[in-house]
Structure 1
């Protein structure tokens, strides 16, 4: 597997049920925990890790079923937000208990589903979190309620609810492929080898279950399994109002739009905000030249 710009040592944490989670643990210093979303993996953090590992301990897990982590069937693993938070809890306890990571002073860097996962974990352990970096994500129910943006309504229903959606996900890898193309996921075309690296862990149909389950787990209302977790997390955000926060936002994101950005800014009016009008959902691909120095300076301050 060719992974340009990813010169890291792969590590593996095996849970009690035998499922292995891949993660990176690079550098030394105050820990920075980087949480990806869907359909990404720790490869998306490659530039940020290289930027920070001289001063910080950079930890970047692949969620179960994603990246280089194990990809169990649905009979072995519950692909839900709650299970993701439990995974993160187990991994951080492992790092603190046996790998010399500190119990306090963690910076959370979150993108896409990394926001609900990371902030739900933070709600369990607020004393561990020192700073927050928010990148095109949410940690509260959709401000629009159960409504999906009109442009996305039909494809979202097909992908989430139909047999055709299952075929598109599992057999043809459509979601992953479109997410790495402009204008859906990026505004600048990825170099071929970089796009191939984003797609590599989902090469086979059986390796794509997590991608579809993430979409199916999006909470649209109180009847959805992830809704209570996300609602409680949103209600608890106020306890982090005293933490320094940086918001980096690609304004050309089709899903995490300015309505969601506005909710973050209302909740955290003192946040340092960097907006990128030429960046889409994967803003670390579109705007890394400007975003990385901003994050590094934020962590130094």
Structure 2
């Protein structure tokens, strides 16, 4: 069963710096919303919890002159329809499978290449993106990790007390009904206050309790130890990183992140010592908010320097042109 949310794409375009048309893809009767801006090598931008494609607006606006920026709203989040996700399987596994179908759609019907995609990931987008890479061997040609994870959490990592608490009843129920987690994220995830309209944009898709089921599910699914539902899968993702060490990799890190802090950064650099490392000392979890201009500059330099390592990109064909002019997504 799926449910549409109360926020329309037209309303979303009124938010600051989000002038995008947006497209829709049917996932078994449920609609997934995504941005598809620019023409060039595709960048697949994956948000985490509790955000949506609005998170990527500065990156999309800054790179769409040279790259094809695809930024989905994960099912159950943003403008995408809400689902009744089955229990017993980590929610990230479902989201990766849905993204796999979306990429198939873009390749088969809208001129996207089969190979040479760049994963640009944040928060839960990291584990979801790495699962997608496993589902599509050879599709991903570059990796960008921004304040995320992609392995089982290190033994010396401690989740902040407040986040630990809302993983369990009754506090999780209270947080869910008051939208407390989303409110906290947009205040504590940045180093300086966001403008009121920007904060409202982050909150808008999650105004009603029925709109934020996936938000709560992601919190409960954080794989902190062997008894958590996603622990085994997180270990597999960490093992998979060994097969990706030859890919051009960018790690960008907001150093004031209260959750994804230096313990996780150290684990990334241990596992991927060849990665281009960019630290943003004054940025929090939402590094693309606190350090937008610098991040876009650094990403452009990284992408430009590694474009030659990807398969040659064919010119866009007529289906892409028709798609851009308004053919159904």
C-alpha distance in structure 2 between counterparts of 1:260 and 1:70, whole Å? 32
CA contact (8 A) 1:81 1:229 kept: no
TM-score norm. by structure 1 comes to 0.93
Q: Does 1:8 align with 2:20?
A: yes
Aligned counterpart, 1:80? 91
The residue correspondences of 1:155-234 to structure 2 (distance < 5 A) are: 155-169=162-176, 171-181=177-187, 184-234=188-238
> 3-state SS of the aligned residue for 1:141?
coil
C-alpha distance in structure 2 between counterparts of 1:34 and 1:65, whole Å? 17
The one of 135, 158, 168 equivalent to 1:148 is: 158
C-alpha distance in structure 2 between counterparts of 1:78 and 1:4, whole Å? 36
C-alpha distance in structure 2 between counterparts of 1:110 and 1:211, whole Å? 17
Q: After TM superposition, give the deviation of residue 287 of structure 1 in Å.
A: 0.7
C-alpha distance in structure 2 between counterparts of 1:165 and 1:76, whole Å? 17
How many residues were matched structurally?
Answer: 293
Q: Does 1:93 align with 2:95?
A: no
The one of 262, 266, 270 equivalent to 1:266 is: 270
The one of 57, 62, 66 equivalent to 1:46 is: 57
Query: Structure 2 unaligned runs (5+)?
Result: 1-10, 306-329
Aligned counterpart, 2:242? 238
C-alpha distance in structure 2 between counterparts of 1:290 and 1:246, whole Å? 14
What is the alpha-carbon root mean square deviation over aligned residues? 1.7
TM-score norm. by structure 2 comes to 0.85
**Structure 1 residues 254, 76: closer, same or farther in 2, change over 3 A?**
closer
C-alpha distance in structure 2 between counterparts of 1:105 and 1:293, whole Å? 21
Q: After TM superposition, give the deviation of residue 76 of structure 1 in Å.
A: 10
CA distances 1:68-115 after superposition (whole Å, capped 9, x unpaired): 000123469976121111111111111111111100010110000000
The residue correspondences of 1:134-145 to structure 2 (distance < 5 A) are: 134-144=145-155
